[in-house]
Amino acid sequence: MGELELVGLHEDGEHLVLAGPDGQRFRLRIDEPLRAAVRRDRPQLEQLRAEGAGTLSPREIQARIRSGRSAQDVADSAGVAVEHVRRYEGPVLAEREFVASQARAARVGRETGAPVLGDLVTDRLAARGVDVGSIEWDAFREGSGSWTVAVRFRTGEDPREALWSFDTQARSVQALEDEARWLSETELADEPIPRRHLAAVRDAVFDVQADGAIRPVLASVDAPVATSEPEPDDVTAALLDDLRTKRGVRQQLELPDEDDDGEAFEGFGPQHMFDLGPAGEPPAAHPPHSDPGSATDATVLPASPRRLARRTKTPVALEPDEPHPDEAVPPPLAERPRGGRKGRASVPSWDEIVFGAKPE
């Protein structure tokens, strides 16, 4: 290979002038690969070469490997040699392994003495008869999202995988599916959670007319349960409502009907005699045109015998001190004999004072 020597910068400022051993001169264009080669920026130089060749850049290759893809998969999808991809996968694989080891050391739960994820998963897989040596841990991330930690194992001939979401700053894991929950949760069922199988269901039009058999059942379900005793608040509210409705309304007094004996009460006339007109001025004792001298005073007539007979028939009330015949009168208490006063001297009479002797 012949060597060229740098002569200088071309007049246009975009090329370099080079000279060979025989003096022949050459012109070299100044572009980004040349600048990267001069600065010894190898990654940028490799990226520029890949872009010029129409292949993936090293950054894109590493991003795909960081997302969990293998070097062979990336090489096949990009149409490049696998050796070219393996040149950039080393740092990314080391990063994935480091994140997986951090996730295995993370504690499950915030309680003191909580088990770490790696030991808990290993113990439970060993209890299921899984070969502990075949367990594989991995971590991957899509773009700038959170890391996902995976453990892969075999149960018989079926490969299984459990996934967790791992927060690198908080050092906490969260199960993303049923297999991971069975392997990492502290309260578990006796058996592993089976996979769910969904079956398609044919579309059916709901017949409103054909649901008569279930209407009583729905009505009984929707019907509110009646309480045997009303609540105190309901009784108070009902009492207040009743008082509000009766406030200001005069209650009618119902009197029993009395049989008319067909005879008017003595001293009273028929009903039309008491239908008086509008009240006027009371009449004077002596009209203004009357003669006071010839006026006579009214005389009191004796009551009729019939009226007196009715008055005598009126029951006479018993005296307050007079006991009722039906009532039992308690016997009077025996009077105690009054004894004379003892121990008190009598007052002397005048004769005793004057003559000094008691009268006989």
Average pLDDT across each block of 10 residues of the chain; the chain has 360 residues. List them in order. Answer: 78 82 84 75 60 70 92 86 88 94 88 86 90 91 90 87 91 90 71 52 47 50 52 70 64 53 51 56 55 57 56 49 51 53 68 70
Structure confidence at residue 275 (pLDDT): 56
Q: What is the largest CA-CA distance in the chain?
A: 204
CA angle 17, 21, 26 (to 5 degrees): 25
Q: What is the pLDDT of residue 210?
A: 47
**List of long-range contacts for 302-308, beta carbons under 8 Å, 24+ apart:** 306/266, 307/266, 307/267
What the block records as the tokens of 174 is: 């969260």
DSSP reduced 3-state for 306: helix
Question: Backbone dihedral region of 256: left (phi > 0), alpha (psi from -120 to 50 degrees) or beta?
Answer: beta
Q: Cα-atom radius of gyration of the chain, to the nearest Å?
A: 64
Where are the domains positioned within the chain? 1-30, 105-184
Torsion angle defined by CA atoms of residues 34, 40, 45 and 47, in that order, rounded to the nearest 10 degrees? -150
How far apart are alpha carbons 31 and 36 in whole angstroms? Answer: 9
For residue 320, the model assigns a pLDDT of: 47
Q: For the packed helices 82-104 and 117-127, what is the interaxial angle rounded to 10 degrees?
A: 90
Helices 71-78 and 58-66, packing angle to 10 deg: 130
Q: Other C-beta atoms within 10 Å of 142: how many?
A: 12
Closest to 161 in 3D by CA, of 129, 142, 183, 146:
183
The per-residue pLDDT for 203 is 47
Helices 82-104 and 71-78 pack at an angle, to 10 degrees, of 140
The pair of three-digit structure tokens given for residue 349, joined into one six-digit string: 């009479």
pLDDT for the residue 68: 92
Q: What is the pLDDT of residue 284?
A: 56
Question: What tokens were used for 223?
Answer: 């019907």
Cα separation, 91 vs 73, whole angstroms: 18
What pLDDT sits at residue 336? 53
| pLDDT of amino acid 49 | 60
DSSP string, 63-104: HHHHTT--HHHHHHHHTS-HHHHHHHHHHHHHHHHHHHHHHH
**How much is the pTM?**
0.41
How far apart CA 130 and CA 157 sit, in angstroms, is 11
